[in-house]
Structure 1
Amino acid sequence: MSYYILADRFLLEDGEKKGGYLKVENGKFDDFIDTVPEGSEIEDWSGYTIAPGLFDTHIHGVNGYDIMDGTVEAVQAISASILEQGVTRFLPTTLTSSTSDIEQAIKAITEADEQALPGAQSEGIFLEGPYFTEKHKGAQNPDHFKTPDLKEFQEWQKIAKDSIVKIALAPEREHTMQFIKDVTGTGVQVSIAHTDASYDCCKQAVSEGANNYVHLFNGMSGLHHREPGVVGAALTDNNVYAELICDGHHVHPDIATLASEIKKEKLILITDCMRAGLMPDGEYQLGEFKVVMKDGIAKTEFGSLAGSTLQLINGVKNLQKWSGKPLYEIWHKGSLSPALSLGKDTRLGSISKGKVADYVVLDQSLDVHATAVEGTIKFKK
């Protein structure tokens, strides 16, 4: 199956292309051409912009559902809901909970993926916890924090049928360095999160294989000129990635812009969205905690930010507005940078010949009018 996309503008890795036709063949991007063969099928998006599909590597839930519900229905509903926000790929994300709850969530994600997801496609499971420390716990339940256990992780990976691609932990916990070395040796990415580790401890964790910092500035020790801490370790290492929640609440817009300038293509836009996303203000559940959302901001009863209600398309809009940078540059922090961080950039993340034809149709306000997965339009306004 092949067709051609006609649009006013295409967002490419190195800039923007004005006009022309982009060929899609067998679910993958092909070449740009100026004229199409007679009788060709054309998707006419004159007046619109075509951008690569967004990739949310850290999302717990949305629209009333959460991955920790532990049901196939929840995973499928999340997949469908985020498609309307331009997200074509995601990592279903767990959080710290009991062993049985984590295992049930893993089973549900695996089963839902095997049954075929209706919208955005899963690129593997992200375990956020339970190997954290209490000082920067955020909305993670410290009752379930523990030391990394390779045998436990291997059992989870067995349940997941080897689909766990990332795990977040606090590197200062005992035996963590060997754990990082062991799991990264199997191809699993390790992220640093909910931690009070020192700068040197973080650097050691990176030397053992960790390659990412979860929701930069949140859930970690801050920057000080004599003790750079976790934030300092993230900002001064050009070889590691850092996630950022650009909702204007988790990080001040000017600091978000500064982080973007420093990290460049190593900055990953995420949502950390929980079930209250796309829902009205009120009371919700995040894991074992009650959460109150007011004016779109979700907090636990003890005052901590509880994930976010951000949609990734809005994170892109925000950072582009705050930074004043070209749209294509900021957009790829939500598409290509996530793919690069997971070693999936040869398949995903940008409009390039041979890559999967995941794309988003945007109007002049950057609102999503259609989203395609592997060349098939799955959402259309």
Structure 2
Amino acid sequence: MKTFIFADKFFLKSAVKGPGYLEISDGKFGDFYSELPDQEANVIDQSGKWIAPGLVDTHIHGFVNHDVMDNDAEGIKAMSEGLLSCGVTSFLPTTLTSSKERLRDVAETVGNVHKDVTGAKIQGIYFEGPFFTEEHKGAQNPSYFGDPDLDTFHEWQEASGGIIKKIALAPERQGVKEFVQQVTSEGVVVSLGHSNATLDEAQVAVEAGASVFVHAYNGMRGLNHREPGMVGALLTLHDVFSELICDGHHVHPQAAEVLMEKAGHDHVALITDCMMAGGMPDGNYMLGEFPVVVKEGTARLESGNLAGSILKLKEAIKNVVDWGLATPEQAVMMATYVPAVSCKIDDVCGSIAKDRDADFIVLNPDMTLEATYLDGVERYHA
């Protein structure tokens, strides 16, 4: 017997449609219909609700007291399960700067476990670093910083089984242009961040193939009228995406609005940069090798600097709508299709498309999460 989801609105790739019926067959999406095509079919009634693609978090370090850098397969599985409560159905486990050996081991662990997770699906790995510079190090350990090295990257990629999808670096490091040209030719996305680069230096990296800016405004040289810097680069260069943390702490809503207006909602990817304290009570935690205090909605190093976030992606889409920065359609797009496209994983996630895995969320009209479905099966209910 066929199954159909009935809802008031469906956030499809081409348009918002509804009310109507979305076919689910053998865990895959089928067609969308305005009228029920089969009166004998099983109908899941989500009257008054909205159906959107499962959220895609392309920059996340940890959740529910587990960190990717713990190098623990069971912890990765727990993250995967926990993320369903955030509306996330696909993610890129994200590393931190560390030793070459530790990063190789983590790449291997994620590579070995990525097909065994039973919650949100691992669509690749994001290497955040270690090719950064100290001026904007954030919660990255500068003792491991260095210039990009292809041999080292290829070691990590081989250890991962070829699933590193994105790597971040600072444009002012030595050898960036050649590194970017090579890894992008291999299908790996290069993002730019934790950097004191000038506009010109950022532009060289973008011309070489870099296409994403790491958590816009944070960990980078700010906008100055004589040297536009990294922020000037992400606001003015064409065909680039910007990650954005919309928790109300990392970026002021008006600064987020400037980025959305200048770059366009279709070039802003909502991310969390969440660390292990996500989904946990306030207290003391670790981010990589650094102790972090979580209280009042933030995660901070002993210096007081922000250290990742405890944001859930479902909160980010609600925030940008509540702040008047985006329509519900734009908010959903920025947390599904845009991050997927920016990391070149939009062939497997980020939109509702026929014959694709039926990973979707049910939203209330106030943008709160009602339920998360994976392969057509409800896995989380608020």
The TM-score range, normalised by the shorter chain, is: over 0.9
Q: In the alignment, is the contact (CA less than 8 A) between 2:104 and 2:155 conserved in 1? A: no
Mapped partners of 1:346, 1:288: distance in 2: 35
| Match in the other structure for 2:40 | 39
SS of alignment partner, residue 57 of structure 1? strand
- Within 5 Å, give how 1:1-381 maps onto structure 2: 2-33=2-33, 34-114=35-115, 116-264=116-264, 265-381=266-382
Deviations 1:119-162 (A, max 9, x none): 10011000001110000000000011111111111011110000
Q: Distance between the aligned counterparts of 2:331 and 2:238, measured in 1?
A: 18
Of the structure 1 ranges 201-210 and 44-53, higher mean CA displacement relative to structure 2 is found in 44-53
* Aligned residue type for 1:158: E
Q: Helix, strand or coil for the counterpart of 1:318? A: helix
Q: Partner amino acid for 2:107? A: I
Q: Distance in 2 between matches of 1:11 and 1:69?
A: 36
Secondary structure of the equivalent of 1:280? coil
2:48 and 2:148 map into 1 onto residues whose CA distance is 52
Deviations 1:145-186 (A, max 9, x none): 111111111011110000101000011111111111111110
Comparing 194-203 with 39-48, greater Cα deviation is found at: 39-48
- Aligned residue identity for 2:38: P
The 8 Å contact of residues 136 and 220 in structure 1, kept in 2 or not, is answered as yes
Equivalent-residue separation in structure 2 for 1:8 and 1:360 (angstroms) = 13
Give the stretch that moved more between structures: 287-296 or 96-105.
96-105
| CA distance in 2: counterparts of 1:216 and 1:118, whole angstroms | 31
Contact 2:318–2:366 (8 Å) recurs in 1: no
Residue pair 2:297, 2:310 contacting (<8 A) in 1 also = yes
User: For the structure 1 residues 142 and 330, does the alpha-carbon distance in structure 2 shift closer, same or farther, using more than 3 Å as the test?
Assistant: same
User: Unpaired runs of 5+ in structure 2?
Assistant: none
Q: Give the secondary-structure state (helix, strand or coil) at the position aligned to 1:323.
A: coil
In 1: Cα distance, 2:381 partner to 2:294 partner: 29
Distance in 2, Cα, partners of 1:73 & 1:364: 36
Q: CA contact under 8 A between 2:270 and 2:334: conserved in structure 1? A: yes
Give the aligned residue type for 1:379.
Y
Does the CA contact (< 8 Å) of 1:83 and 1:379 recur in 2?
Answer: yes
Task: State the superposition RMSD in angstroms.
Answer: 1.5
Distance in 2 between the 1:12 and 1:316 partners?
16
Q: Which amino acid aligns with 2:178?
A: Q
Q: Deviations over 1:78-104 (max 9, x none)?
A: 111111111010000000012222122
Residues 257 and 319 in structure 1, CA contact (< 8 A), matched pair in contact too: no
Per the TM alignment, residue 258 of structure 1 is displaced from its structure 2 partner at its CA by: 1.6
Contact 2:318 2:368 in 1 (8 A): no
- Separation of aligned partners in 2, 1:227 and 1:364: 43
C-alpha distance in 1, partners of 2:205/2:326? Answer: 33
SS in 1 for 2:186: coil
Contact 1:254 1:322 in 2 (8 A): no
- SS of the residue corresponding to residue 232 of structure 2 reads helix
CA shift for structure 1 position 14: 4.9
Partner Cα separation in structure 2 for residue 180 and residue 170 of structure 1: 11
| Kept in 2: contact 1:15–1:329 (CA 8 A) | no
Deviation per CA, 1:242-300, whole angstroms, max 9, x where unpaired? 00000011000111122112222010000000011111111110111111112121111
> Is this contact kept in 2: 1:281–1:293, CA < 8 A?
yes
The share of aligned pairs that are identical, in percent, is 46
1:23 Cα deviation from its structure 2 partner:
0.8
Q: Which amino acid aligns with 2:40?
A: G
Counterpart Cα distance in 2 of 1:106 and 1:144: 17
- Secondary structure in structure 2 of the residue aligned to 1:117: coil
Letter in 2 for 1:46: S
CA drift at 1:331: 1.1
Q: Name the SS for the 1:10 alignment partner.
A: strand
Cα separation, 2, equivalents of 1:353 and 1:238: 31
The one-letter code sitting in structure 2 at the alignment partner of 1:360 is I
Give 1:303's aligned amino acid.
G
Deviation at 1:324, TM superposition (A): 4.8
Amino acid across the alignment from 1:220 = M
Comparing 208-217 and 105-114, the one that deviates more? 105-114
Shift of 1:347: 3.5
Contact in 1 for aligned 2:30/2:354 (Cα 8 Å): yes
Quick check: 1:283–1:292 contact (8 Å CA) kept in 2? yes
